[in-house]
Amino acid sequence: MRKQWGRALVIAVASVVIVLGLVFAVTTRSGKHDGTRWLSAEQGPLMMLTTPQTPYYSTAAPAPTTRPTLTVDSGCRVGQGPATLDPVPAATTRRVNAAWDRVERWLKAKAPTTAATLRPPATIERIAQAQRQSGVAFPAELVASLLRHDGVSGIGDSFALPPFHHPASAEGMESQAKVMCDVLTSSGVDDSVGSWWHGRFVPIAVNGGGDGLFLDQRTGTGRLGEWDHEGSVSFDSWPATLTELLEQTATALETGGTIIGGYRPVVTGNRALDWDFPR
């Protein structure tokens, strides 16, 4: 269901772009008269009046353009995050790895196409660079997860945390954080700070449509939440941490049970994992 929606969205966007391009081309062509004005049909098909085109110059000063600016702290510190990672407790590493062990075991047995999309571990240096560029400290559980898998390859049949959030690489987190902060700070809308995005959110997964999951580091707790690029952030229906989400995902895979409001794992004909919402 998710993939059909994704393909439909891509087709719809492509159609809109094509239509707009055609409209622009037709409008440009029909509005180009090269100094020639045709008379009405009643005046005869061969009657034509040419008039010189006099350029118009306005002496009025252009209206000043002002861009609103935020009057509150956005929390964005792109490129100014901690240069070194905090040590990851051994207990955190064991718990994250145990959850990934269960996920991998199921994928290899049931959905090998998706299993192959899990990327190798990120290096400590690459994670530290992403933290620095993102401008916010990465929670220990996120570092442990990146040391297991540096996100996934592509979108398509790649592994998704239910129902459609694909784990981002360290590089992807870095670039996504920059994009979100650029949009937030350039909007000049104070009310968007914290309700639409905050500089102390760490983006950890994306759905390919501009939305995704983040860990809230405003108080250093790493609370798991979801952002909607056209709406607001939400913490409802989500477990408190990334580790809990990994564990609940593993349980849903092993039991065929539901998760996040009723999504159930299914295996496609391509031997890939998908999340279906029973109707």
CATH code of the domain containing 104: 3.40.1580.10
Residue 28 lies in a domain: no
pLDDT for the residue numbered 208: 87
Residue 81 lies in a domain: no
DSSP symbols for 179-210: HHHHHHHHH--GGGBTTTB-TTEEEEEE-SSS
DSSP symbols for 21-66: HHHHHHHHHHH--TTEEE--GGG-TT-EEE-PPPP----SPPPP--
Per the CB < 8 A criterion, the answer to whether 38 and 149 are in contact is: no
Q: What percent of the chain has pLDDT over 70?
A: 76
pLDDT for the residue numbered 278: 73
For the residues 107-121, what does the mean pLDDT come to? Answer: 98
pLDDT for the residue numbered 66: 67
Give the count of domains, the chain.
1
Residue 166 lies in a domain: yes
Residue 9 lies in a domain: no
Phi, psi of 272 (to 5 degrees): -120, 155
| Interval 13-53: pLDDT, tens | 333 333 333 233 323 323 333 333 322 333 333 333 334 45
For the residues 56-65, what does the mean pLDDT come to? Answer: 55
pLDDT for the residue numbered 5: 39
Q: What percent of the chain has pLDDT over 90?
A: 72
Residue 45 lies in a domain: no
pTM (whole model) above 0.85: no
Residue 41 lies in a domain: no
What's the domain range around 97?
90-276
| Interval 132-173: pLDDT, tens | 999 999 999 999 999 999 999 987 899 999 999 999 999 999
Identify the band that residue 63 occupies on the pLDDT scale cut at 50, 70 and 90. low
Identify the band that residue 187 occupies on the pLDDT scale cut at 50, 70 and 90. very high
Residue 253 lies in a domain: yes
Residue 204 lies in a domain: yes
What's the mean pLDDT when you consider all of the chain?
A: 83
| Interval 81-91: pLDDT, tens | 999 999 999 99
pLDDT for the residue numbered 18: 33
